[in-house]
Amino acid sequence: MNLVFFLFFPLTLFFIGFAGLALNRKNLLTIIMSIELILLSINFNFLIFSAFLDDRLGQIITLLVLTIAAAETSIGLAILIVYYRIKGSINVEFISSLKG
Amino acid sequence: MYLCVIAFPLLNYLIINLFGRFLGTYICAILSAVSVFLTFLFALFIFYEVAICNSICEVHLASWFSGELLSTNWAFNFDTLTAVMLVVVSSISSFVHFYSIEYMNSDPHQTRFLSYLSLFTFFMLILVTGDNFVLMFLGWEGIGLASFLLISFWFTRIQAGKSAIKAMLVNRVGDLGLIIGMCGVFLTFKSLDYAVVFSLSPCAINTTFSFLCFELDRLTVITLFLFIGVLGKSAQLGLHVWLPDAMEGPTPVSALIHAATLVTAGVFLLIRCSYLFELAPTTLCVVTIVGALTAFFASTVGLVQNDLKRVIAYSTCSQLGYMVFICGLSNYSIGLFHLANHAFFKALLFLSAGSIIHGLADEQDLRKMGGLIGSFPITSVKILIGSVALTGIPFFTGFYSKDVILEIAFSTYNKFGLFAYTLGCLAAGCTSFYSWRLFYLTFINSPNSYKTYQEGAHEPSLIMLIPLFFLAVCSITVGFLTKEMFSGLGTPFFQSAIFVFYKSTNLDSEFLSPFVKNIPLFVTIFGMTLSYFLIHCATTDKEMIFNLKTSALGRQIYIFLSKKWHFDQIFNELIVHKVMTFGYRIPFQNIDKGNIEMFGAFGISRHVNAMTKDFTSLHSGFLFHYLFAILFFMLTAIFLLFSFLTTTSGLLKYLLLAFCYFLLLPNKNLLFA
């Protein structure tokens, strides 16, 4: 059982999450879910390395990330609701008023 | 004392130009006339002392500039040649100054006019007295400048301005040749002083320049370039186009510049450099041919000119041709003789023409004159004297120099002499024809102008007539009085000032058969008779002259001559227009506005602007675009970093850097297809 074998799963998860971010052109909610997915994949990574290196720090960071993810999701959902109140839609394609 | 001749016109110019408006027109006119007349008296004194008493004088004033081998001095050399030129220039100039008091008195800028005349005289005197090529060049350019100022004296007239520019630019072509010639002189002789150069000139025989793989004879090259300068200044064929156009200035200017002084500067240079020219036989052939062609060309064009001043201008051009070709035949003293004589009768002709123009409501067109002999009795006599002297009727001034020129040309034993003789005789015939044509059309034929003009026609006042009187006296007597000095057999007059030809041809020309000697006279009389029948008698029988002019051949000849052999047209179309088009297309459009702007500041700023626009357009405002860009560039950066760190080859590293650069170039289409 080598490290690469275990790292493959979180990497796939990361890219799925990223694909959800990059390819999604409709729903703002999907973006928050994709971010959650990315954070989870990173948590996986930390845990795997923590086990592999036999070090406690990774698990601590994972706990920290979990709390941050929760906070971030709540804030994100709050912004989403505020945005929906103003715009009446959560379509990503229409969020483009800040152009270069 | 000797320097007074140079100092007086200069001081006069400065005073009139700086304080003229405080002094007033009247005082300025008197001042300038008096000071230039004093110059004339000094010149006469110098002529007596230097030329007649054989005491050459050299005045070293100051050092001007000096380099390693080159040292230039403000030094003035008074030898016979200079003395003759001094008398000619200062006398004509003082007559013209005096004449201008009356002629220009209703002009609002008379002080400016007089100051320019004095400036011109000053530079001309510098030119003739200078001891080295540099001072000569100073005078040479100075008279060019003064002629520019004088031709465009009425600067509000567009034609005057254009003529002045033309005169300046065409002269500049010759000046370029003169500069190159001077460089050649310095390269060969390591000095620009006349004395050094002319005494060393035999050392340069058979030495060569290496130029573009050609071995060119030094003296030939130098003299040819000097001759280009002569071409420009003396209005010889090729660079003659400025002279007739320069008639746009006031008439006294034409008399001073285009008859007596400016155009003689070229011949003066030729005579001054006689020691150089004499050692370059090839150049002498060129000089002879060009001079003869000029004499012939200008006189034929003069036949059909309808402008009073233009006829005289072409006759000047023609007479300059005589002077040049006789120099080409090695008789420089005769050239100088003709120069001096010509100055007097040509100034007389111009100033008389000026009095007619002055008295006839500024009318210059010959076709609108006629029958003026009653209104201008004195002027008509003056013009008659001038014409007779010009055509070389015996015992008038022109005869003594012109006939000698033709005789020498005939008795020179080569084809160039015969060529010059033939053309010279033809030119003499034409000269006679147009001189009498001018006389008939102005004075004798039935009047053609308005009655009011005819009634208002009047002789000028005494101030204008006195110079004419003196010039007329000179036109009659000068030739006879100075004949033995200039062209007498074995005359010691010139000492070593110019090259004097001691060969048998001068004797031969003296003992030609009477028939040959009289040929020029016959030709002149023939021209006179022809003029009588064609111009005078034709007024009673207009049918004949009309048919002659409008027949197929007659019309072609007339157009050819009145278009000046199409020289102006050829120059304008083949040279001037082409050069201007080239100047617009290539240097202006393609280089200045094209390549330099494209690769210069303008092009760079435009490129930067375009790049910035591309960069900013990356920010589309869409979240997914930003995310994609972040991912893409992050991955690329990681990839490149690893590649860069793991590559050992130096070249590959640079290639990777270059790849990075191109990746970072803004290309929206690459990222978001």
Pick the CATH number of A3-98 from 1.10.287.3510, 3.40.50.11540, 3.30.450.40, 3.90.1150.10: 1.10.287.3510
Question: B650 in a domain, yes or no?
Answer: yes
Question: B377 in a domain, yes or no?
Answer: no
Give the pLDDT of residue B492. 83
Give contacts of B623 with chain A, Cβ < 8 Å: 31, 92, 95
Distance CA B562, CA B551 (A): 16
Which pair of structure tokens corresponds to residue B318? Answer: 């023609």
Q: What is the mean pLDDT of residues B40-57?
A: 92
Task: Identify which of A14-18, A73-77, B214-218 has the greatest average pLDDT.
Answer: A73-77
Q: Predicted ipTM? A: 0.77
Distance CA B352, CA B95 (A): 12
Q: What is the pLDDT of residues B179-194, one digit of tens each?
A: 999 999 999 999 999 9
Whether residue B246 is predicted with pLDDT greater than 80 in this model: the reply is: yes
Lowest mean pLDDT among A14-18, B298-302, B661-665: B661-665
User: What 3-state DSSP class applies to B24?
Assistant: coil
Instruction: Tell me which residues of chain B have a C-beta less than 8 Å from any C-beta of chain A.
Output: 615-624, 627-628, 631
Question: B218 in a domain, yes or no?
Answer: no
Give the pLDDT of residue B309. 92
User: What 3-state DSSP class applies to B184?
Assistant: helix
Q: Please answer yes or no on whether A31 and B616 come within 8 Å at the CB atom.
A: no
Question: B555 in a domain, yes or no?
Answer: no
pLDDT band at B662 (very low <50, low <70, confident <90, very high): low
Size of interface A-B (CB pairs under 8 A): 35
Q: What is the mean pLDDT of residues B80-86?
A: 94
Question: B472 in a domain, yes or no?
Answer: no
Q: For chain A, give the number of residues.
A: 100
pLDDT band at B660 (very low <50, low <70, confident <90, very high): low
Q: What is the mean pLDDT of residues A11-23?
A: 87
Question: B487 in a domain, yes or no?
Answer: no
User: What 3-state DSSP class applies to B58?
Assistant: strand
Pairing of strands B71-78, B214-217: unpaired
Give the pLDDT of residue B335. 93
Lowest mean pLDDT among B232-246, B341-355, B458-472, B644-658: B644-658
Pairing of strands B214-217, B208-211: antiparallel
Same domain, B605 and B644: no
Domains: count for chain B: 2
Distance CA B111, CA B334 (A): 38
Window 57-86 of A, Cβ < 8 Å to B: none
Whether residue B247 is predicted with pLDDT greater than 70 in this model: the reply is: yes
pLDDT band at B215 (very low <50, low <70, confident <90, very high): confident
Gyration radius of chain A's alpha carbons: 17
Give contacts of B615 with chain A, Cβ < 8 Å: 100
Print the domain residue range for B665: 625-671
Question: B250 in a domain, yes or no?
Answer: no
pLDDT band at A15 (very low <50, low <70, confident <90, very high): confident
Lowest mean pLDDT among B294-298, B477-481, B637-641: B637-641
Give the pLDDT of residue B673. 42
User: Which residue stretches of B360-461 are H helix?
Assistant: 377-391, 397-411, 415-439, 451-456
Bigger pLDDT: B633 vs A59: A59
Same domain, B607 and B630: no
Residue B621 is nearest to which of A25, A31, A99, comparing CB atoms?
A: A99
Distance CA A70, CA A63 (A): 11
Pairing of strands B71-78, B208-211: unpaired
Residue A18 is nearest to which of B616, B619, B631, comparing CB atoms?
A: B631
Mean pLDDT of chain B: 89
